[in-house]
Every structure is written in C-alpha cells, then in structure tokens.
A and B are shown apart, each in its own frame.
Chain A
Amino acid sequence: MFNCDDVIQLLTEYVDSELEPDTKALLESHFGACPACDQFLKSFRRTVELTGEFRCEDIPEEVSIRLHSFLEERLRTSDQEGSLDEG
C-alpha cells in the first residue's frame, strides 16, 4: 500500500495516464480511503487543466506582418550579398 507521500510523487504520472495498471489500482484504492489525498488529486488535476487553458497558437496579425517583412528584407539582402552570416 502507498502512504500519502508516495501518492504525491506519482500524481503527474497518474493524471498523465502513464502508470502501470497495478500501480494505478493501488493509487485509486488510496484515493478511495483518504479524502485528503483525493482532494489534493482534484486540485492538482485542476491546476494542470487550468494551465492548459492558456494554450494558443495565434500570432497577432501585426506581429506576423512585421516578422515577414523583416525576414524578406534580410533574405533579399542575403541574395545581394551572398550570405546571411553575422548579418
């Protein structure tokens, strides 16, 4: 059986579904018998979920335009000078 300190060490692998079935079953047995660990698990999982809410792959349009303009200028210069090194 796990004690509470063992459980805390395994939480990341548990919420990421990376534990072996036997270990997972032991952990879940502990959660069923220990309300404090069960609460800790819920807040731990919620933290991971909330962090994931920041997920975003957008770039502001003006930043993208500035980036492409910058790169086009540098590539054009490199074509004229033959190299981008240390430019």
Chain B
Amino acid sequence: MAETPPIESDKVNPRPLGPLKADNDLPLVERVKEGDHAAFTELVRRYEGKVYQLALRLTGNDMDANDVIQDVFLSVFRKIHTFRGHAAFSSWLYRITANAAFARLNQRKRHAAVSLDDVLPIIEESSMHEVGSEWSQKPDLALFNKETREALESAIQSLPDDFKTVIVLRDIQNLSNQEVAEALNLSIPAVKSRLHRARLVLRRQLGEFLGGPG
C-alpha cells in the first residue's frame, strides 16, 4: 500500500466542483475533541458496523477485523485533534480503517501482495467476443447461491489491495466516487480506473466459475 497516506492527515486532493454534502458528524467530532466520552461512544455506535464490515472485507477474517476495529477507534480518539475537516469525517475514518487493516495483514507476513501486473493480463485478454457471457441470464437463485457467493468473495479477496479497497468502498459499501477518492487520497479518475479494472477482473472470474470464459 505504498500510496496509502498517513492516518494523521485528512488533506485530500481538491474537490471537484459540485454540491458538498454537509458533514453531519462534525458536531459530535467537536465534542469528542473537547474530551466528551459520551460523544465518542455515540460516534463509535454510528460507525462500528461500517468499520467492522470494511475491516472484515479487507482482512478476510473475523479475528483480524475484531482487532482492527479496536485499533481504529482507539486511533480515532487519540488523533481526533488532528482532524481538520478537509474531508468528511467518514472518509478520514475509512482511511484509518484501510491503513489498520493492511498493517494487520502485513504483521501476519502474508504472501506477497498481488501486483497489478499479475492482474493486467487477465484484463487485457478480455474480449468482447468471447462466448460464455450468457451466465448473466441465469436466474438469481443460481447466481447467488452459496458457491457463487464464495467464488465472488474469493475473487474479491484475491484482488491487489489498491483495487480491493476501491471495490469494497464503492460497490459494497456504496460510497460515491468522491467519497472513495477522499478516503484513499486519490483523484476521482484514479478511483474510476481502479474500479473499472477490478470489475473486469471480477466479471471474468465469475464467468470462469459459472462455466464459461466469461
């Protein structure tokens, strides 16, 4: 995760022009900065599910996710005074979570991360005129049974970290491109590029699992 920024910073690339969403967390954040433990507990309750699910998707197991969320919220309490509101609080929180998740994986001395070069050939080989895309016509029941779900989950887990984070935040957590860009300190075109390539890989792997080259 060479591009992952330090958690102390919530500086982001310049926002694109457009309406800004009000950050509803700011009143709570200000109270936490003043040492209000009840406000901190409320902030934790507001985000614990999202943070847990993000940690679970990024680490791939319950035990690490459990440790990560403890690290994350403790870091939030310690570092809240460094949060300046340049990005939404939630974006800052997701960035801390991603950093903590990948730090946890590195501690486990996981096998070398898959590089983009490992994935690119799969993408480059994608051809519009392959046979086998008919899998999309299968009924929902067949498409999302336990085995298919596990195959898709495994495909997501095997993505390089930079791509997995974008897919999880964008397609699973349903954040906007702008929110993902803020959370990962990327430009919106970079988010879209990673998202597109990750989706192509997942589509291909799903197709292979479902009986055709996709």
Measured CB to CB, the residues of A under 8 A from B are 4-5, 7-9, 11-13, 34, 36-37, 39-40, 42-48, 50-60, 63-64, 66-68, 70-71, 74-75, 84-85
Q: Given that A36-B128, A46-B136 are known contacts, is A51 also in contact with B172, CB under 8 Å in the complex?
A: yes
Q: Given that A8-B126, A63-B69, A85-B78 are known contacts, is A47 also in contact with B173, CB under 8 Å in the complex?
A: no
Judging by beta carbons under 8 Å apart, are A68 and B128 in contact? no
Judging by beta carbons under 8 Å apart, are A43 and B77 in contact? no
Q: Give the number of chain B interface residues (Cβ < 8 Å).
A: 51
A2–chain B nearest beta-carbon distance, Å: 11
Judging by beta carbons under 8 Å apart, are B133 and A39 in contact? yes
Q: Which listed residue, B52, B127, B144, B200, touches A53 by the CB 8 Å rule?
A: B144
Judging by beta carbons under 8 Å apart, are B44 and A45 in contact? no
Judging by beta carbons under 8 Å apart, are B73 and A84 in contact? no
Contacts of B41 in A (CB 8 A): 68, 71
Judging by beta carbons under 8 Å apart, are A43 and B207 in contact? yes
Distance between Cα atoms of A48 and B199 in the complex (Å)? 7
9 further A-B pairs in the complex, CB-CB below 8 A; given A63-B69, A75-B40, A85-B78: A12-B195, A40-B133, A43-B133, A47-B203, A51-B152, A58-B52, A71-B40, A75-B37, A84-B78
